[in-house]
Structure 1
Amino acid sequence: MNAPALRVLVADDQEIVRTGLAMILDAQPGIEVIGAAADGEQAVRLALERRPDVCLFDIRMPGLDGIEATRRLAGPAVADPLAVVVITTFDLDEYVYAALRAGARGFLLKEAGPVLLAQAVHAAARGDALIAPSVTARLLAAFVGSEPAAAQHRSAGTLTEREEHVLAAVARGRTNSEIATELHISLSTVKTHIASLMAKLGVRNRVELVIWAYETDRVRR
């Protein structure tokens, strides 16, 4: 029996983009677009009504933008957060970092192809995260320090040498499978180390792990 399709909500103020994203995602196996919104207010309302598995939000929308919409659905104060992936035209848009801070699980450029778009949706749905590979390090390096860094005040406790290696690999945008191959450990061991890192650092996902790594100079900028 096939697993149920992932239910996705799309929000973008440009109708041609919104329609295009919906068509691309609907054509992917295991994904179903269950709604489309033209602004942040409508996106939040639909998301709370329909509880999609993943929300795909443009950042720049009139009225309530994608950052605030993300914060309302996935921010630190939300008891039952939804998975949000933000998407933008600009790879060095200052709002992207704010969106990740607001709780977004991933970041993509609008030029991302169908495969990467589908990968981001599946990653977000399983609690993982995907940031456009071409901008992962550059984006975070550019915006770390642009706001008061809460992560700098978190106590890391004592990270093991292996945890430091796994953290560095995550910060470089490696997937779990790539980390397992690179460090010559099993996939389950990678997942165990990542869970341990999240617990020690008090973060909720890989995006926050990456931000913490940059803000504490675990990774060279």
Structure 2
Amino acid sequence: MIKSSVKNFILPFTICLLIALALYPDSTLNLDKYSTEGLELNYNISQDLALVANEQTKRQNMFTPHLGKSFEGFKEALAFKESRGDYFTVNTLGYLGKYQFGSETLKVIGIYNPNQFLYNPELQEKAFIANAERNKWVLRKDIKRFEGKLIGGVKITESGILAAAHLAGPGSVKKFLRSYGGNNFSDAYGSTVKHYMRKFSGYDTSFVSPNKKAKAIL
């Protein structure tokens, strides 16, 4: 605390001294009265700014809610995997937004303007819900049949199924489940149905209602 106070004193004092010398060059200012002897003068502004930023980050983290295995936790975990949570990103294959939707999937849930979609976070959130509702309807029988079973070393859960459907489509998920892991779709970046089944297992997705005609409407 003392070291910090000294540092906070030196810089303003030095600035004031230089201003005084500039304004009154002929003054008989006695510099012998001022001394920095014994003070730590190895003062690095960038290091101090880094410390301030670090403290601010710590304070922010103290108030970050723990989403755990809630539905919000599911959404945010999946979004981070897809795009690190960036609403406005487009990947090398043309997939859009926070949840990386393809244009054909968007059409299924009623979105025909990809550019409008990309710059509308609210629409992206509604699209995620609508797509999950539709996938849950398509996979409702498979969820009932396979939930709780072990396939390829992975415990099958509803959230894992919905996450894998988001990655690969419900058809690929059906093939994985009904082949007991033998048919394991992999996307262009190497992510597989099995990996998503494992990574996103155990979240509470009861919020999602199966809906064959789900649409994203503002």
What's the TM-score once normalised by structure 2's chain length? Answer: 0.22
Structure with more contact order per residue of length (Cα contacts < 8 Å, sep ≥ 6) = 2
- Specify the structure having the higher radius of gyration (Cα): 2
What's the TM-score once normalised by structure 1's chain length? Answer: 0.22
Higher percent of residues as helix: 2
